[in-house]
Amino acid sequence: MQRVYERLNIHIENQIQAVNLAIEKLLLSQENIKKDYDNLQTITGIGPITAVAILAEIPTFSSLENARQLAAYAGLIPCHKISGTSLKGKPCLAKMRSSSLRKTLYFPAIVAKNHNPIFKEFAHKLELQGKHTMVIIGAIMRKLLHIIFGILKHKTPFNL
C-alpha cells in the first residue's frame, strides 16, 4: 500500500511541475501578462503564485469600468441585511460572486495588514472604531483589489 501512495505522490509532483512549466511558458510568451505578473508582485503580500491566481481570476477590463465593479465581482462589497420588518441586521460581505478571488486575496490581506505601512495604519484606524478582525481583513481585501485594479489598468508597479 505504501508503494501506491509513493507512486501517487510522484505523479502529483510531476503534474505540479508540468503546470508550473506551462505557466512559465505562458508568461514568457505573453509580454503584457508578464508585465502584469511582475507589477502585481510589487504589492507586499502578493507573490508569484498569488499573482498568477489573480490574473487567472480577474475578468477582462472591457467588462469593468472601475475598481468598484471589480470589488462587486469578487463579492467584497458590503451587503445590508434587510428582510421584512427586521431592518437592523449587521452588514456583511456579499459573497455571491467569485469565491476563488476572495480566497486568493485573504492571505495577502493578512500580510499587508501586518507588514505594509499603508494597510497597518488603515487597520489601526478600523480597530480604533471597534471593528472586528474579519471586518478589517475584508476591508483590506477590498482596498487591495482597488490597488490591483489600478496596477493592471495603468500597467505600472505599486509604489508607496
Residues 148 and 40 sit within 8 Å (Cβ to Cβ): yes
31 lies in some domain: yes
State the amino acid at position 81 in one-letter form.
K
Side-chain-facing half-sphere of 58: CA atoms under 13 Å: 29
54 lies in some domain: yes
CB neighbours of 28 closer than 8 A, spacing ≥ 6? 34
160 lies in some domain: no
Domain that holds residue 96: 2-154
145 lies in some domain: yes
**Full-model pTM:** 0.81
State how many domains the chain has: 1
| More reliable by pLDDT, 5 or 70 | 5
26 lies in some domain: yes
118 lies in some domain: yes
Give the C-alpha separation, 129 to 34, whole Å.
40
pLDDT tens profile 80-118:
566 666 556 566 665 566 678 888 999 999 999 999 888
What is the pLDDT at residue 84?
60
Average pLDDT for 51-67: 84
What is the pLDDT at residue 57?
87
In order, the DSSP letters of 112-146 are HHHH-HHHHHHHHHHHHTT--HHHHHHHHHHHHHH
Give the C-alpha separation, 38 to 156, whole Å.
10
